Amino acid sequence: MIVQALPGNWLDTGDNAWQLTAATFVGIMSIPGLALLYGGAVKKKWAVNSAFMVFYAFSAVLIVWVLWAYNMSFGKPWFNMPGGLGPFLGHPSPTTSADFMEKEAVIPSAAAFMPALGYGMATMVYFQFVFAAITPIILLGAILGRISFKAWVIFVPLWTTFIYSVGAYSLWGGGWLSSLGVIDYSGGYVIHLASAVSGFVAAAVIGPRLPRDRESFHPNSLLITLAGAGLLWLGWSGFNGGDPFTANADAGVGVMNTHTATAAALLTWVVLDVFAYGKPSVLGAVNGMITGLVAITPAAGYVNGTGAIIIGVVAATLPWMTWNWLGQGKTALFRKVDDTLGVIHTHGVAAIVGGLGTGILADPKMVEWYGTKSDQIAVTGWWYGNFHQLICQLEGAGAIIVYNAIGTFILLKIIGLFVNLRFDDETLLIGDDAVHGEEAYAIYSDGQKIPIMGD
């Protein structure tokens, strides 16, 4: 039960504390979570570069976010879709004024039935920022091991401005996709499908790693990868638990469904590996974990526990099949497009499973705001009698795929006119030392005695 703020004192300290905590959990998923996961999963020569680009992206997105991108994603309408479909993008403006930071937070897409939230806009801006930041970081997983650092520096703020903000506004800011009835609880489409499609297109435009790296790209530290994966999994409590925007019962449902689906997906991937290859794989378990986390994200507050398990099992099975039967150079497309960490499988395919799964399994009894039920916020899936919701989810997936593919292609081609999109072959051979003058594991430093065999 939510304790409402007293008249004249709109700050609900409980809700405010939970939103700030949830946002910090999501931030930890990026730094250090994905920094560690990427840094451990790549070859030793790319460990520093991979982790460093995560920290850069997190910083760059924050500056862009407060200067203009938050209001492009959640502010007043700026551009409208033709044919009266609804707003396409918010008006760019800064969120740094003291007056703005003290206002009560509101969600434009929910304004018709949802009161102002019990915390200030500063909390909401921070909460939405960590979602914006992790999206290009997930995309990065597809192009590790060859993208130029200069190109990455330019790409992140531009992609956040022109690509991410459009998807966020269309689905979360009261834009045209939400007006059509498309739902995305916490970013299955806005974050995971968008980053997977954009990453796949970027991998195609930038080109593959060196042939020797594609043939042999063993992780430099599986333990570091597992540490990052663990932070990612637990941090997801903030990802899906924070999106009711209040510390209500639905937040608990979102958290519980998240971990249930993820456990089911991890176990499913491990079982499939054992049946196919005779051995359980640590990297396979991590991939299964990611597919479960991704797939439950659009559905976490809309499905019941049984639905979460179903989504988790299917979310591991289909990406496992595309990864092992189509990916890894087994088809012409994947021989040409070098998706380093298989983002199109673990995030793209899994996001579609979760988005469509929401259209099928959304239980109208699950959602509440401020401790109350409302027909205005009930979401009913096909299983409960509303086939149209599945159609909406298909339309939403198609729109995100098309916009991100075309937008990312154009953006990279423009950036490529000014800087090289990939490192030269000599730099690709050397890695971190050539790019940053640093190594991940410099065991012996200047002045230390190197032990001699037999000492």
- The whole-number pLDDT of residue 250 equals 86
- The region, left, alpha or beta by phi > 0 then psi within -120 to 50, assigned to residue 450 is beta
CA atoms lying within 13 Å on the CB side of residue 361 = 25
Please check whether residue 148 lies inside any domain of the structure.
yes
Distance CA 395, CA 121 (A): 31
Mean pLDDT of 257-263: 97
Q: Compute the mean pLDDT over every residue in the chain, rounded to the nearest whole number.
A: 89
Q: Is residue 141 part of a domain?
A: yes
Mean pLDDT, residues 154-183 taken together: 94
Please tell me the predicted confidence (pLDDT) of residue 7.
45
How far apart CA 376 and CA 110 sit, in angstroms, is: 9
Is 107 a residue whose pLDDT tops 90? Answer: no
Q: Is position 277 within any domain?
A: yes
Which of 94-108, 191-205, 325-339 shows the lowest per-residue confidence on average (mean pLDDT)? Answer: 94-108
Q: Would you say residue 252 has pLDDT above 70?
A: yes
Window from 204-213, 341-350, 374-383 with minimum mean pLDDT = 374-383
Percent with pLDDT over 70 in the chain:
89
Instruction: Give the pLDDT score at 257.
Output: 96
Mean pLDDT of 252-278: 97
Confidence bin at 118 (pLDDT 50/70/90) = confident
* Residue 353 located in a structural domain: yes
Q: In this predicted structure, what is the pLDDT of residue 371?
A: 46
Pairwise pLDDT comparison (159 vs 327), residue with the higher score:
159
Nearby residues of 95 by Cβ (< 8 Å), 6 or more positions away? 65, 66, 70, 71, 101, 121, 125
For residue 6, is it within any domain? Answer: no
Determine the pLDDT at residue 112: 59
Residue 237 has pLDDT above 90, yes or no: yes
Of 305, 309, 264, nearest in space to 288 by CA: 264
- For CA atoms 109, 111, 117, 119, the dihedral sign is positive
| pLDDT tens track for 209-234 | 999 999 889 999 999 999 999 999 99
Whether 338 shows a pLDDT value over 70: the answer reads yes
CATH at residue 207: 1.10.3430.10
pLDDT band at residue 102 under the 50/70/90 scheme: low
pLDDT-derived band of residue 109, with 50, 70 and 90 as boundaries?
low
| Interatomic CA distance for residues 155 and 148, integer angstroms | 10
For residue 259, the model assigns a pLDDT of: 97
Give the pLDDT band of residue 84 (cuts 50, 70, 90): low
For 422, phi then psi, to 5°, come to: -130, 155
pLDDT band, very low/low/confident/very high, at 420 (cuts 50, 70, 90): very high
The answer, yes or no, to whether residue 113 has pLDDT greater than 80, is no
pLDDT for 316 beyond 90: yes
Q: Give the position of tokens 């090289």.
A: 420
- Which range among 70-79, 116-125, 287-296, 364-373 has the greatest average pLDDT? 287-296
What length does the chain have?
A: 455
Closest CA to 423 of 434, 412, 413, 414: 434
Residue 444 lies in a domain: no
Domain residues for 427? 13-436
Q: Which residue has the tokens 């729109």?
A: 399
Query: What pLDDT shows up at residue 174?
Result: 86
State the pLDDT confidence band at 6, using cuts at 50, 70 and 90: very low
The fraction of the chain above a pLDDT of 90, given in percent, is 72
Of the two residues 107 and 153, the one the predictor is more confident about is: 153
Other CB atoms closer than 10 Å to residue 235's CB: what's the count? 22
In total, how many domains does the chain have?
A: 1
User: Does residue 224 lie in a domain region?
Assistant: yes
Residue 443 lies in a domain: no
pLDDT for 110 equals: 59
According to DSSP, the residues that pair with 87 across neighbouring strands are 80
